[in-house]
Structure 1
């Protein structure tokens, strides 16, 4: 099989468009990280267009750290359950803007207020600073400071890639602090550990969305030093996962992280955490961003949203 022949055709079109976008912004001598981030924003921008329209979208700062958040509300009136969403990008890239459509999709499909957390990026902010910012937002929402229309008693958390890592780790940190964990987790193709596995070799070519060399750079930017690589709050696959909330794992079959995601599902089950592990054949890392053209991404959203709706129903 040639590289990437196992990708869904619509996902392959998404890859080609992304690659074309980056090719039109070649790396030039003296390019800074700020330049690289701006290119990523530009390339991703077309994929955030369209989709659900919100009744209200607002931005504010929450918690003692004053973390910027964006709140997407599909309706106004009755208190909505909440889903914190933690965007991916290797802890270094992307933003609330690159993930705008993903958050609107969840808000509309589940009927939740999605709170996008604009955590500080690495390497400027190393572990555990971004994670602590996320927990600070959790504390603020639970305290009712997110404004009217939000139910502080029903809070889930979701994220993709590095964001899925921190979604799990946020619950681990809450547990360590003696606070209740959240009600549910939606984990999209998460970076749960830095170990190199067989799927890195299988899906690490340029035909796919992510490669091992990129992940090495991302982990190095996020972590402070060697000791952090074994810290379960940084690599949650190594943690005691008992007592964590139910989890929906969206696993891309054609992804260097697929082995780690399958291992996380198994570890959660061993810890007696309810798990819905969903492997999407033909899907790559980041495939949810292709929802505007991909029935496969649409199905993944639909299945995750139905699961999350059940877990956030009033008891």
Structure 2
């Protein structure tokens, strides 16, 4: 599965978008080393940063599969983008990936482990499973380091719904996710010992108060469409700010298509502008 996923995405990552620098590095964390990729738009010494988590159902995907997405966000926002090579399921079931992502976020927020960024201007984002992990990590950081994350960029994630009209309407692989695939990814992530209460996947049931503002991007032909709609409502009802964008005519995973599909370009531009608007300001 991983090999096929990487092969399919490799064509969408070409031609390579030039940036000031792209560097693979390793964070030496308490839980062991963790790979990251740092995308820099220029040589600025103290730039804001977006920590980005790739999609792939918690099972597939990599820094390579999402390289063009991260390059686009970096170039268009002017912020550093830090991709995190988090551990994949089923070898590493919940909460392994989330634990490592939290450690990486704390390291970046501390400012000592990734040079050239302003730790006071930090955002987090992701697509699909990466969006779920980004929101889950933001919830953890809200309780541990309330001011660490200033913005969330969340593209077509799964946030907790078990049933919805789009899951029935678009229950076909042509729309990016079949019911069997969704079930497989969720079972792989949860492993044989689900979290107490079975709430690991249901972020919508969490207390969402106190989270930073978010841009929530959704695909109109996505089985997970209602997850994004529900999250936007829940964030607003909790007193937060959520800018919902629903992109017509595209299915789950469409961000990969920015080489040929204008809607993917627009979605990445919207996200980059939101990153810039939220993070390019003097730290409070």
TM class by shorter chain equals over 0.9
- The 5-angstrom pairing of residues 3-152 of structure 1 reads 36-50=1-15, 52-62=17-27, 63-65=29-31, 66-152=33-119
Q: How many residues align?
A: 280
CA contact (8 A) 1:169 1:233 kept: no
Instruction: Report the more deviating stretch, 146-155 or 278-287.
Output: 146-155
**Residue 245, structure 1, aligned to residue 178, structure 2:** no
Superposed displacement of residue 145, structure 1: 2.8
Deviation, 1:181, is 4.5
The separation in 1 between residues aligned to 2:147 and 2:112, in whole angstroms, is 18
Structure 1 stretches of 4+ moved >6 Å: none
Runs of at least 5 residues in structure 2 that lack an aligned partner in the other structure? none
Q: Output the CA distance in 2 between the equivalents of 1:194 and 1:129.
A: 22
Q: Are 1:212 and 2:179 counterparts?
A: yes
- Partner in structure 1 of residue 242 of structure 2: 275
- List aligned pairs for 1:190-205, cutoff 5 A: 190-205=157-172
Gaps (5+ residues) in structure 1? Answer: 1-35
SS of alignment partner, residue 97 of structure 1: coil
Q: Which residue, 105, 114, 126 being the options, matches 1:159?
A: 126
Q: 1:257 pairs with 220, 224, 241, which one?
A: 224
- Taking structure 1 as reference, are residues 73 and 58 closer, same or farther at Cα in structure 2, changes over 3 Å only? same
Separation in structure 2 between the aligned mates of residue 160 and residue 277 of structure 1, nearest angstrom: 14
Partner of 1:292: 259
Decide whether aligned partners of structure 1 residues 264 and 172 sit closer, same or farther in structure 2, where only a CA change above 3 A counts: same
Of 207, 221, 227, 2:188 maps to 221
Distance 1:267 1:226, change over 3 A: farther
Describe the superposition over 1:209-251 as per-residue Cα deviations: whole angstroms up to 9, x where unpaired. 1111101000000013575385555321111100011000111
Q: Superposition pairs for residues 178-197 of structure 1, below 5 Å?
A: 179-197=146-164
Which aligned pairs between 1:293-308 and structure 2 lie closer than 5 A? 293-308=260-275
